[in-house]
Amino acid sequence: MTSGLRIIGGEWRSRRISFAAIDGLRPTPGRVRETLFNWLQFSITGARCLDVFAGSGILGIEAVSRGAASALLIESNVRACAAITAAIQALATQRVQLLQGNAIVLLATAPKDGYDIVFLDPPFRMGLVSMVVDRLESYGWVVSGSKVYIEQERDSRFLELPPNWRILKRQNAGDVAYYLCERD
Return the bridge partners of 152, or none.
177
Q: Give mean pLDDT, residues 18-40.
A: 92
Radius of gyration of the chain (CA): 15
Cβ neighbours around 1 below 10 Å, total: 6
Query: Is 66's pLDDT higher than 60?
Result: yes
175/115 Cα distance (integer angstroms): 28
Q: Give mean pLDDT, residues 178-182.
A: 97
pTM of the model: 0.96
3-state secondary structure 53-103: CCCCCHHHHHHHHCCCCEEEEEECCHHHHHHHHHHHHHHCCCCEEEEECCH
User: Phi and psi for 92 in degrees, rounded to 5?
Assistant: 50, 55
- The model's confidence at residue 129, banded by pLDDT at 50, 70 and 90, is very high
Q: Give mean pLDDT, residues 154-168.
A: 89
The per-residue pLDDT for 24 is: 82
89/36 Cα distance (integer angstroms): 25
The per-residue pLDDT for 26 is: 86
145/155 Cα distance (integer angstroms): 28
- The model's confidence at residue 1, banded by pLDDT at 50, 70 and 90, is low
The per-residue pLDDT for 2 is: 63
Which among 110, 132, 108, 139 has a CA at the least distance from the CA of 181?
132
DSSP, residue by residue, 114-139: -EEEEEE-PPTTS--HHHHHHHHHHT
The per-residue pLDDT for 112 is: 96
Query: Is 42's pLDDT higher than 80?
Result: yes
Q: Give mean pLDDT, residues 29-49.
A: 96
The per-residue pLDDT for 21 is: 85
Cβ neighbours around 163 below 10 Å, total: 7
